[in-house]
Amino acid sequence: MSSSISESSSGIRQRRGVGARPAVLVADSEDDKTRDAKSKIGNNEGKVAYMPSVFERLPLDFYLECLVVLVAFVARMYRLGYPKKVVFDEFHFGKFVNWTIQRKYYFDIHPPLGKLILTAWGLFTGYEAVDGFMYDQIGKLYEDTLFFPMRELSAVLGSFVPLVAYRTCRMLNFVPPAALVPAFCVALDNLLVVESRLILLDSQLMFFCTLSMHCALVLWRTTKPNTARRWLWLFITGFVSGCALGIKWTSLAFPGVIAIISFFGLYFLEEPLTLLECVFALVSGLSIYALSFYVHFKILINSGPGDNFMETGFRHLLLGNQGYDATLKPPSFLKNFGYLNWRMFVSNKGILNTHHWSSVWYQWILNMRGVLFIREYDEQLPGRPYRVVYLFSNPAVTWTALLAIIIFLVTASLLARHRDMKFFSNRRQAYAEYVYTGAFCFFSWLSNLLPYILVDRSSFAYHYLPGLYFAEICIGLLVNTAPKQLHWLLALTIIGTIVAAYVYWAPWVYFLTLTGEQHETRRWLRGWD
């Protein structure tokens, strides 16, 4: 992937956009001279837009990438079969897999792509649903049910998200130690690790979301229009964005940010993409999104628990339905597609009932509230010790990420008043690079939170995953901005803190038995009940 993004020649050059657009500094390497040349953002012609460099691959990158994938893989695969019981929303997604295999029509508030991927992998690995296991109770023992491969799929996809994070940060011109910090945040954040160890959709969601942003960065550096390379990355970016949207609508901020930057030529672009290019990417995204619904309708031909969510004409075509009529003219795909998406929208909007484990956006950024996935007491031991799977974020990640956002906002406002001021004066860091990259992270973080700020609906801690990703990148930005001699010291200090916190709260990830007192010592906040 990285070899495909080295397009520009080395050095600094100035380009002028179309018409009266201001000059743009384009950096193609990350040496100190480049940073010095970019440090003066203003000139007599007006504001200068910032386009970060295309990173140069180093031998060190390969070893660090292997490290983060290995750490993420071990964190997700260790004791993956425990608990050998239905955990939290496996109760729902296990049912969806069963109904898909049985070809029974069902309804879900999320698009079908994620369930189709789970089902395809389940079938490939030998999972059977006919007269098989019923997901009718949280905590039900799996016994001989082949549940492990579907958890394994979630774990594998979740293990590659840190790799995408590392490469994305390198493309943002972060030095290797600065890129390593967000990668470790993603690798060892309890929130994503737990979600990646169960039959759920969030590891798929985060894989496609983060990959879509990475592909967009590649696209934005493909500066030559009307080339095969440009059209290829337009298609790939749209396709991956469509996959993300096909998993959950909560991914919408990612393609939304990509579309806004592309259409208006913000942050990393010398000039906007053309309307034709934007439409082409949009069509490629909508195509895979619509295709997942087409497959959904083609597979689910039997009457099932979701019949009543569709129109009468559609229900009469389902085998086994009371009003089944083979002579009826089938409703068009576009009609069914539009109607089902409308029902999904209405159902999502209607989730207003409070849940004991629900939380709101400001609790996420402060890590004030988690979700108890399962609890089991060990009656064989004195004192009734117990084990849990408890979903919350690694405090070393969440609180450091929030601090990084605050530090950026404060320093950026100071730099806006004093453009000749150096943030960490002994570090030759470009004003443009810091402010534009930080603003990109901040607004992407905020855009993922806005739906939960503006819309009143029941939500949970895992809804913070897409937004938290950009806050984690902001931690790397601060490390990248520090003096060169402090890069590894800061990076290793932050990573060490993350690892220590993860190990401390690991029993809540891996369903390990602790005494009541040991559990209580880990409940730092009242909301971690």
Entry pTM: 0.88
d(CA 521, CA 227): 60
Structure tokens, 215: 């592909």
SS3 at position 100: helix
Beta carbons of 3 and 28 less than 8 angstroms apart: no
Tell me the C-alpha distance between 71 and 495, whole Å.
12
Within a domain: 171:
no
**Which residues have C-beta within 8 Å of that of residue 75, sequence separation ≥ 6?**
187, 188, 193, 502, 509
Scan for tokens 């369903």, then name that residue: 511
Tokens for 105, please give them.
Answer: 């029509």
pLDDT in tens, 369-405: 999 999 999 877 777 899 999 999 999 999 999 999 9
Does 413 reside within a domain? no
Structure tokens at 484: 């060169």
Give the domain-ending residue among 146, 167, 184.
146
- Domains contained in the chain, number: 2
- How many CA atoms are closer than 13 Å to the CA of 352, on its beta-carbon side? 5
**Taking Cα atoms as reference points, which of 490, 502, 474, 469 lies closest to residue 395?**
502
Residue 218 located in a structural domain: no
Write out the residue range of the structural domain in which residue 134 sits: 85-146
What is the CB neighbour count within 10 angstroms for residue 297? 19
Given this model, what pLDDT does residue 291 score? 97
Query: How much helix, strand and coil, in percent to the nearest 5, is found in the chain?
Result: 60, 5, 35
* 39-46 LR contacts (CB < 8 Å, sep 24+): 39/428, 39/429, 39/430, 39/431, 39/432, 40/431, 41/419, 41/430, 41/431, 41/432, 41/435, 42/419, 46/22
Cis peptide before 83 (omega within 30 of 0): yes
Residue 57, classified by CB atoms within 10 Å of its CB into exposed (0-12), middle (13-18) or buried (19+), is middle
Q: Please give the DSSP secondary-structure letter assigned to residue 179.
A: H
Question: Three-state DSSP class for 271?
Answer: coil
Domain boundary among 128, 146, 164: 146
Please name the residues in contact with 41: beta carbons below 8 A apart, sequence gap of 6 or more: 47, 48, 50, 419, 430, 431, 432, 435
Both tokens of residue 503? 């190990």
In-domain check, residue 286: no
Using one digit for the tens of pLDDT, what is the confidence trace for 63-113?
Answer: 999 999 999 999 999 999 999 999 999 999 999 999 999 999 999 999 999
- The residue with tokens 């939380």 is 359
Position 237 in a domain: no
Q: What is the rounded CA–CA span in Å between residue 196 and residue 206?
A: 10
Among 146, 171, 195, residue at a domain's last position? 146
Tell me, what's the pLDDT at 79?
Answer: 95
Separation CA 385–CA 374 (nearest Å): 14
Residue 463 included in any domain: no
In a domain, 28, yes or no: no
105 domain residue, yes or no:
yes
pLDDT tens per residue across all 529 residues of the chain: 444 333 333 332 333 233 333 333 333 333 443 444 333 333 333 344 455 555 677 889 999 999 999 999 999 999 999 999 999 999 999 999 999 999 999 999 999 999 999 999 999 998 887 656 788 899 999 988 889 999 999 999 999 999 999 999 999 999 999 999 999 999 999 999 999 999 999 999 999 999 999 999 999 988 788 889 999 999 999 999 999 999 999 999 999 999 999 999 988 888 899 999 999 999 999 999 999 999 999 999 999 999 999 998 899 899 988 878 777 778 899 999 999 999 999 998 877 777 788 899 999 999 999 999 999 998 777 778 999 999 999 999 999 999 999 999 998 888 777 655 544 444 444 677 888 899 999 999 999 999 999 888 889 999 999 999 999 999 999 999 998 999 999 999 999 999 999 999 999 999 999 999 999 999 999 999 8
**pLDDT digits over 260-296, tens only?**
999 999 888 888 999 999 999 999 999 999 999 999 9
Structure tokens at 178: 């600065």
